[in-house]
């Protein structure tokens, strides 16, 4: 019994379809004429249905479509009555009849082909495995050789079996033997797995970088970034530190700081400068012509717009409130501090002033700036964002309190200072002096009880003062002291034993030293024997030069140093001049005549006053000083450092010298009668010196002076008065001294002298 038509093994060897079988040759009616060689059994098509329900031709057509073939070729065959249709209609019976009519030779060729019928073109099909053993196992014909269908071979009849590629070429060109142009090779796509691995590595690296950055931000640098963010939200407000006050010896305010306001403008925001200037002028007490240029838009020299201009500083709080009430665009009011000087010109040359930044410029304000100036504080707090930028409740808040400056208590007595200033000013105006000075010293302590300069100024308005008014004549100006130097010369001679209190000096009306002749204002005949009190009383230049010759240049120079000449006293004012004294090596021939009488050297009025205070203090020099105490903000009082002291003369010599100088006020015809103080014994000396101008030449005016002490029997105070005017010390300065000393003694309740001054013999 023949096998079933549906047996897939029919017409195959080992399950592989014979390459010579082509269903395309089937009869259109479902059968084939036996022996014609043009028709084949329908079983070929029956076997080409795949297990999925599609025929291999349909699968080939689908693959052809994907490979760029004609997707509609199978459909066209059906429309045109293709050879496949009869096989499908014939079913199993047709397949059986075709099998009977066209048996397949074991060599795989159609019998009809053996009879000489033309062989149809072989149909391209799947390429069998290349393994020869597998090929034989799958039923390939023995005549095909070891290569099988892949390599081609020959059938039992001797015909060459084309390879699969050649079959494909023949099918493509319509017949065997015609080569077909190979399609252009396509570029191989990258390996998907390599691309996936590369993408994975890149993504992993990206995640590692991001993760590392997150670790850095969250763990390593978190505190630093948090601190930076906090700083950006922190607003700092300065807390001003009030400047310390300056008191007199009785704690009366001489200078202190008060709260004030500053008014400024941003010219770029001022809408109507003219109207703003008119409204501000009466409040700020400034003319419109001064305010308008500051309010109007203007630029710097480089073309940059000016955005800040001070309109007024240190104005009263009430004035600042009124300016704020105007609500002028571009005009602002801020906190300020102002130095208030209740006495205006009282001790102005002594106190000095500050700039707008409250930094001392002159006087005590400058000399004790570090003590007076406080340390500003600050308040830092956290603010929110936006235009309001308000403080965040409960946020960061740190306040560093300001440390107000310490106050300074001076040795000055305000009432005495006022009286001395008044008397000096009146006397200097009377004698038409260019400048004048007066200083009152406590001989025992070195305290400066009053220190006045002429001309003065208003310390509340320092901008209106000239340079001449701002200087302190007691420490800034140096002069040739003149005859007041004779007390130093004779005191040194007494201390060295060159002369005694009862010694006499033979003199004449004049004496020549070098190329200069020195004469007396009270000339005496040649050979006159003058006493030491007589030298003081008549201010004898010849007698003082003669004593200086006996003392010697070196000793005179040494005693000038001991009396504090040639060096600043360190009173407390900045810019104090040290003066100038000449060592003997610098002396010329005339120096031996000029230096003993106070010419050819330069001193300050304060230096000469300190020298006379040493004589009044029993021969002990005490450093003059202005500061008594410093007072911290909490009220702690710290006394000023003790003044320097050193002995210049013995007590006996100092007493003898002081007694001799009483002759200046008491001896008939003496030079200092106008310095007498009713009820008190006075000792002192007149002087007429010179003032050296900046060009190095002497001015035409004299420097008239008087320095004295009272009570002479037990001195308490020394007062020195200098005036740059025409005249001698007895006429210009002595009257002012008398007034000042009388007030000082009365104010301090010093009892009048209980003894009369001694009687003096001038010549013998």
What pLDDT shows up at residue 411? 97
- 420-747 is a CATH 3.30.930.10 domain: no
What pLDDT shows up at residue 234? 75
Q: Cis bond leading into 455, ω under 30°?
A: yes
Q: Where are the alpha helices (DSSP H) in 285-355?
A: 288-295, 317-326, 348-351
What pLDDT shows up at residue 155? 47
**759/218 Cα distance (integer angstroms):** 101
Maximum distance among all Cα pairs of the chain, rounded to whole angstroms: 194
Domain ranges of the chain: 12-173, 193-228, 238-407, 420-747
Exactly one of 257, 483, 591, 738 is catalytic; which is it?
A: 483
Q: Cis bond leading into 711, ω under 30°?
A: yes
Complete DSSP assignment for 658-712 = HHHTTHHHHSTT-TTGGG-BTTB--EEEEEEEEEE-TTSSEEEEEEEEEEEEEST
What pLDDT shows up at residue 44? 46
- Average pLDDT by consecutive 10-residue portion of the chain (764 residues)? 45 42 41 42 46 56 55 53 46 45 44 45 47 43 41 47 47 50 64 83 90 80 70 74 93 93 92 93 93 92 89 92 93 90 94 90 93 87 67 77 92 97 96 95 97 94 90 93 96 96 95 94 93 96 96 96 95 93 94 95 96 97 96 93 96 97 96 96 96 80 95 97 94 96 96 93 90
**594/610 Cα distance (integer angstroms):** 22
What pLDDT shows up at residue 563? 97
**413/422 Cα distance (integer angstroms):** 14
What pLDDT shows up at residue 626? 96
**719/443 Cα distance (integer angstroms):** 10
What pLDDT shows up at residue 382? 75
* CA neighbours closer than 13 Å in the CB half-sphere of residue 748: 17
Burial class (CB in 10 A: 0-12, 13-18, 19+), 586: exposed
**620/108 Cα distance (integer angstroms):** 154
Q: Are strands 407-410 and 246-247 parallel, antiparallel or unpaired?
A: parallel
Q: Does residue 483 have an active-site annotation?
A: yes
The CATH H-level (homologous superfamily) assignment of domain 238-407 is Penicillin-binding protein 2a (Domain 2) (3.90.1310.10)
**711/420 Cα distance (integer angstroms):** 18
The torsion region of residue 244 among left (phi > 0), alpha (psi -120 to 50) and beta comes to beta
């Amino acid at each position: 019994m023949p096998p079933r038509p549906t047996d897939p093994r029919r017409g195959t060897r080992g399950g592989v379809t014979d390459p010579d079988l082509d269903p395309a040759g089937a009869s259109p009616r479902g059968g084939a004429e036996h022996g014609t060689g043009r028709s084949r059994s329908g079983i070929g098509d029956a076997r080409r249905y795949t297990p999925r329900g599609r025929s291999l031709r349909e699968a080939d057509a689908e693959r052809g479509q994907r490979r760029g073939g004609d997707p509609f070729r199978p459909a066209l065959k059906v429309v045109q009555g293709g050879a496949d249709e009869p096989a499908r209609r014939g079913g199993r019976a047709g397949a059986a009849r075709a099998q009977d009519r066209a048996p397949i030779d074991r060599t795989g060729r159609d019998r009809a082909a053996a009879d000489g019928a033309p062989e149809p073109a072989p149909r391209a099909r799947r390429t069998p495995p290349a393994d020869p053993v597998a090929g034989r196992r799958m039923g390939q014909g023995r005549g095909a050789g070891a290569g099988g269908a892949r390599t081609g071979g020959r059938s039992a009849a001797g015909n060459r079996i084309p390879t699969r590629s050649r079959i494909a070429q023949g099918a493509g060109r319509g017949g065997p033997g015609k080569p077909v142009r190979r399609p252009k090779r396509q570029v191989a796509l990258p390996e998907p797995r390599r691309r996936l691995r590369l993408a994975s590595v890149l993504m992993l690296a990206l995640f590692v970088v991001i993760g590392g950055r997150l670790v850095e931000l969250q763990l390593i640098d978190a505190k630093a970034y948090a601190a930076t963010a906090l700083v950006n939200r922190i607003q700092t407000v300065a807390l001003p530190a009030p400047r310390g006050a300056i008191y007199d010896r009785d704690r009366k305010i001489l200078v202190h700081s008060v709260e004030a306001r500053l008014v400024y403008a941003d010219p770029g925001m001022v809408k109507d400068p003219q109207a703003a200037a008119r409204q501000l002028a009466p409040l700020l007490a400034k003319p419109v012509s001064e305010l308008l240029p500051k309010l109007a838009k203007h630029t710097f020299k480089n073309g940059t717009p000016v955005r800040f201009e001070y309109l007024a500083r240190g104005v009263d709080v009430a004035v600042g409130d009124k300016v704020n009430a105007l609500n002028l665009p571009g005009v602002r009011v801020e906190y300020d501090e102002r130095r208030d000087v209740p006495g205006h010109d009282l001790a102005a040359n002594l106190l000095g002033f500050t700039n707008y930044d409250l930094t001392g410029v002159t006087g005590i304000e400058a000399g004790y700036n570090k003590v007076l100036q406080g340390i500003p504080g600050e308040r830092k707090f956290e603010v929110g964002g936006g235009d309001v930028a308000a403080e965040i409740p409960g946020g960061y808040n740190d306040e560093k309190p300001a440390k107000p400056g310490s106050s300074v208590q001076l040795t000055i007595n305000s009432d005495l200072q006022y009286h001395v200033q008044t008397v000096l000013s009146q006397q200097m105006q009377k004698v038409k002096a260019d400048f004048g000075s007066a200083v009152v010293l406590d001989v025992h302590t070195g305290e400066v009880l009053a220190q006045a300069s002429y001309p003065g100024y208003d310390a509340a308005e320092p901008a209106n003062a000239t340079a001449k008014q701002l200087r302190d004549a007691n420490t800034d100006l140096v002069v040739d002291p003149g005859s007041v130097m004779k007390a130093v010369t004779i005191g040194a001679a007494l201390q060295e034993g060159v002369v005694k209190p009862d010694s006499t000096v033979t003199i004449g009306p004049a004496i020549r030293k070098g190329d200069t002749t020195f004469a007396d204002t009270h000339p005496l005949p040649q050979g006159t024997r003058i006493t030491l009190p007589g030298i003081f009383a008549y201010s004898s230049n010849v007698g003082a030069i003669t004593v200086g010759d006996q003392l010697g240049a070196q000793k005179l120079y040494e005693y000038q140093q001991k009396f504090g000449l040639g060096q600043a006293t360190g009173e407390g004012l900045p810019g104090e001049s040290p003066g100038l004294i000449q060592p003997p090596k610098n002396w010329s021939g005339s120096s031996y005549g000029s230096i003993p009488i106070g010419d050819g050297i330069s001193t300050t009025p304060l230096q000469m006053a300190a020298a006379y205070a040493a004589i009044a203090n029993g021969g002990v020099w005490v450093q003059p000083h202005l500061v008594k105490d410093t007072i911290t903000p909490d009220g702690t009082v710290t006394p000023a450092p003790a003044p320097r002291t050193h002995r210049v003369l013995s007590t006996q010599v100092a007493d003898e010298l002081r007694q001799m100088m009483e002759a200046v006020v008491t001896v008939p015809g003496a030079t200092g009668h106008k310095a007498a103080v009713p009820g008190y014994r006075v000792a002192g000396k007149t002087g007429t010196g010179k003032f050296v101008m900046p060009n190095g030449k002497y001015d035409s005016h004299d420097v008239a002076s008087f320095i004295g002490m009272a009570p002479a029997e037990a001195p308490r105070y020394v007062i020195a008065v200098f005036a740059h005017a025409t005249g001698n010390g007895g006429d210009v300065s002595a009257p002012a001294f008398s007034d000042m000393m009388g007030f000082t003694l009365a104010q301090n309740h010093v009892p009048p002298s209980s003894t009369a001054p001694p009687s003096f013999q001038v010549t013998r």
